[in-house]
């Protein structure tokens, strides 16, 4: 079980920003470039590959369906993907950095300027990542998991109308299963701004930080580990650690069936609603 203290990488990034700003001022200008595309889910999951250097995606016009960030549309800078689902259709503005596309350098730049450009691109990427994370957190407040009044405890339903459930009650080490929905405290989950899925004060945890298919999922004492952070995407619930999906083992939607981690495949045993 991962017992590490809460990660401190956000603090280190913020401290580095003043130094990075100096690199930017003394190096090549970094201008952003925008492009607009249309993407329609047609009632199902559709995706669009994002260009290299993408720093942000924004929904500028909804043309059909109910487009809600994190539920029916979203983007992933790591996998370079914009996606829509559940009937959402719209026009999206994609912002890319000039440094990534090579717009900022001239043919007469010397090696020192090239080095500065590389440093500037790294800084831009770091700032964009922080901004993207913060924006995603703010948008999470509108995606149905939480509101301005605090966390919302909700049942999470899957295949066959069964609910996520901590077997035998919420205790550290008890495994995650699906079961008949009954409104019990071991079936009411809260998703906080750190990406934790909490149930009765415990966190949903991938046992032993296992990233393999079939990894066991349980309730455990919250410790800030990456194996206790989650993302919602098009009805899927993905581990922030491995990128794999919560999956009803064997696809058998029967009360008591274990919920495990498995590579995402779009199956109905990996689709959840709340």
190 occurs within a structural domain: yes
Backbone angles phi, psi at 34, to 5 degrees: -120, 150
Tokens of 211: 């990233």
Q: What is the predicted pLDDT for the residue at 117?
A: 52
146 occurs within a structural domain: no
Per the structure, the complete domain to which residue 260 belongs is given by 151-270
> Could you read off the pLDDT of 3-15 as tens digits, one per residue?
444 444 333 343 3
| Cβ-based neighbour number of residue 115 at 10 Å | 13
Contacts of 231 (CB under 8 A, 6+ apart): 195, 237, 238, 240
The answer, yes or no, to whether residue 129 has pLDDT greater than 60, is no
Considering the domain architecture, whether residues 68 and 132 belong to the same structural domain is answered as: yes
233 occurs within a structural domain: yes
Considering the domain architecture, whether residues 241 and 170 belong to the same structural domain is answered as: yes
- Report pTM: 0.49
Considering the domain architecture, whether residues 117 and 193 belong to the same structural domain is answered as: no
Considering the domain architecture, whether residues 109 and 214 belong to the same structural domain is answered as: no
Opening angle at CA 36, ends 32 and 42, nearest 5 = 145
The answer, yes or no, to whether residue 161 has pLDDT greater than 90, is yes
Q: Which residue has the tokens 């922080």?
A: 130
2 occurs within a structural domain: no
Considering the domain architecture, whether residues 94 and 174 belong to the same structural domain is answered as: no
Task: Choose between 117 and 236: higher pLDDT.
Answer: 236
Considering the domain architecture, whether residues 62 and 103 belong to the same structural domain is answered as: yes
Round to whole Å and give the CA distance between 67 and 46. 13
Task: Choose between 136 and 176: higher pLDDT.
Answer: 176
pLDDT-derived band at 274 (thresholds 50, 70, 90) equals: confident
Considering the domain architecture, whether residues 136 and 166 belong to the same structural domain is answered as: no
Least confident range from 60-64, 106-110, 124-128: namely 106-110
The answer, yes or no, to whether residue 86 has pLDDT greater than 90, is no
Domain boundary among 140, 169, 191: 140
Considering the domain architecture, whether residues 16 and 131 belong to the same structural domain is answered as: yes
Q: Where are the beta strands (DSSP E) in 119-264?
A: 146-147, 150-151, 163-166, 176-179, 189-191, 197-199, 202-206, 217-220, 230-233, 236-239, 245-248, 259-262
Positive or negative: CA dihedral 207, 210, 211, 214:
negative
Round to whole Å and give the CA distance between 196 and 126. 23
Domain boundary among 105, 140, 175: 140
Task: Choose between 184 and 103: higher pLDDT.
Answer: 184
Contacts of 71 (CB under 8 A, 6+ apart): 85, 86, 143, 144, 232, 234, 235
**How many domains does the structure of the chain reveal?**
2
Considering the domain architecture, whether residues 134 and 175 belong to the same structural domain is answered as: no
188 occurs within a structural domain: yes
241 occurs within a structural domain: yes
Domain boundary among 115, 140, 165: 140
């Amino acid at each position: 079980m991962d017992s590490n203290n809460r990660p401190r990488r956000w603090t280190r990034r913020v401290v580095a920003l003043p130094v990075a700003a100096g690199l930017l001022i003394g190096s090549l200008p970094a201008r952003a470039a925008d492009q607009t595309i249309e993407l329609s889910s047609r009632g199902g999951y559709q995706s669009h590959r994002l260009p290299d250097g993408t720093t942000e995606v924004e929904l500028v016009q909804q043309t059909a369906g109910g487009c809600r960030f994190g539920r029916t549309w979203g983007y992933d800078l790591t996998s370079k993907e914009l996606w829509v689902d559940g009937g959402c259709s719209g026009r999206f503005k994609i912002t890319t950095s000039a440094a990534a596309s090579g717009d900022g350098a001239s043919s007469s730049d010397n090696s020192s300027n090239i080095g500065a450009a590389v440093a500037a691109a790294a800084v831009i990427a770091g700032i964009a990542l922080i901004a993207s994370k913060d924006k995603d957190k703010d948008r999470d407040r509108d995606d149905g998991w939480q509101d301005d009044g605090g966390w919302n405890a909700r049942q999470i339903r899957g295949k066959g109308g069964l609910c996520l459930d901590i077997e035998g009650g919420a205790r550290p080490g008890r495994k995650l299963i699906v079961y008949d929905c009954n409104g019990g405290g071991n079936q009411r989950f809260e998703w906080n701004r750190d990406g934790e899925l909490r149930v009765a004060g415990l966190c949903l945890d991938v046992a032993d930080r296992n990233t393999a298919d079939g990894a066991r999922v349980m309730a455990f004492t919250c410790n800030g580990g990456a194996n206790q952070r989650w993302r919602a995407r098009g009805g899927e619930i993905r581990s922030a650690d491995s990128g794999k999906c919560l999956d009803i083992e064997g696809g058998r939607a029967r009360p008591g069936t274990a919920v495990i981690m498995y590579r995402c495949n779009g199956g109905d045993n990996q689709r959840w609603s709340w």
